[in-house]
Amino acid sequence: MTILIASDHAGFHRKGELKARFPQVEWKDLGTDSEVSVDYPDYADRVAREIQDDPSRLGVLICGSGQGMAMRANRYPRVRAALAWNSDVARLSRRHNDANVLCLGSRVTDLEACAAALQAFLETEFEGGRHDGRVRKLGGPWENC
């Protein structure tokens, strides 16, 4: 499976570190390509557009806090972006919320915690069952959330 990834300037180095930590992952890097200041919503949009078209895909977004990326990505139908600062939060976001985008904060979460969160996110499946109806309520007016 190809995992979408993007960052703003604050997350640029962390994005490279995580890609290097997970060489077994096929990454589709949607930018940015340097530390030159950019607007994080533009890069959240790149990942979220592809996820909304195919919500079975997974994405990773990285900015300074992770919060801005999460806020923007969650404006898209069928995108469930989760801000995670450790593996437990990442695992629960997949298991209970069927998150399809992991958001990380490079300025507030160290590399080891980001890597652990990413590992948990990639290896955890949605539990379904009692969570199905709750996740559907997150979806909004569109079908097949």
Q: 118: burial class by Cβ within 10 Å (0-12, 13-18, 19+)?
A: buried
Q: Domains in the chain, ordered, with CATH?
A: 2-139 (3.40.1400.10)
Catalytic residue among 9, 63, 103, 114: 63
Q: Which residues pair with 31 in a beta bridge?
A: none
Which stretches in the chain have pLDDT values below 70?
Answer: 140-145
Is 63 one of the catalytic residues? Answer: yes
Judge whether 131 counts as a catalytic residue.
no
Q: Which of 13, 96, 131, 145 is catalytic?
A: 96
| CA dist., res. 132 & res. 128, Å (int) | 5
Tell me what pLDDT residue 1 has.
Answer: 86
What is the per-residue pLDDT across 134-143, written as a single tens digit (0 to 9) for each?
A: 998 887 544 5
